[in-house]
Amino acid sequence: MLQWLGRDPTVKAPASPPRRRSAGDRHRRHGQPRIPCDVADPWRFPRCRDSSRRGRTVTRPVHLRLSYLGLAFIGGAVGTAAREAISLSLPPLGDVPWAILTVNILGAFLLGLLLDSLARSGPDERWRRRTRILVGTGFMGGFTTYSALAADTAGRLGAGPGGASSPGIGIAYAVGTVLIGGLATFAGIATATTLRRGGAR
């Protein structure tokens, strides 16, 4: 019958090359669903690394997008300049660095106000994400300063270079900044809630 069809039964068909197992095969073998390329990490799944050649695009993480990095850079530069301006305009009074205390508390209040307003207005995408990165991550990150808080505290405790030993003031300054900053954050959230309710009327 096979000879009649033109096939020699003594000749074996060429063996097909072994199929290369992919990450999706491993997931299916273990009973897990295949991960689509739009949510998979392209560095862990090589099949997604070249997905653009097959007409699909891989979404790059936010921290790797140059546009968002540029927004954070611009916001940070402006925030740092604003902090320096406030530091120069507020002369030191006594042994407490009032300028750094002011910018940290003000920044905590504004950050609570901003993030609560953005979170209540919709998902973190498009203009909300750009605003959060520009103003929240960038501006507020440059405006507030943890390094100056640590250096001023160490100086009051006598641990910094040339610092005068004032352990009581140093401890009160560090603890007070954290506590008042937390209260300022809650005040910013409450202010955002009040403004939102007032605008809904």
Residues 157, 160, 164: CA angle, nearest 5 degrees: 55
Q: Which of 135, 147, 145 is nearest to 74 (CA)?
A: 135
> Is 193 one of the annotated binding-site residues?
no
Q: Which two structure tokens, joined as six digits, stand for 17?
A: 């090359």
> 18: helix, coil or strand?
coil
Dist CA 117 CA 125 (whole Å) = 14
List CB contacts of 119: < 8 A, sequence separation 6 or more. Answer: none
> Is 80 one of the annotated binding-site residues?
no
Residues making up the annotated binding site are 141, 144
Annotated binding site for Na(+): 141, 144
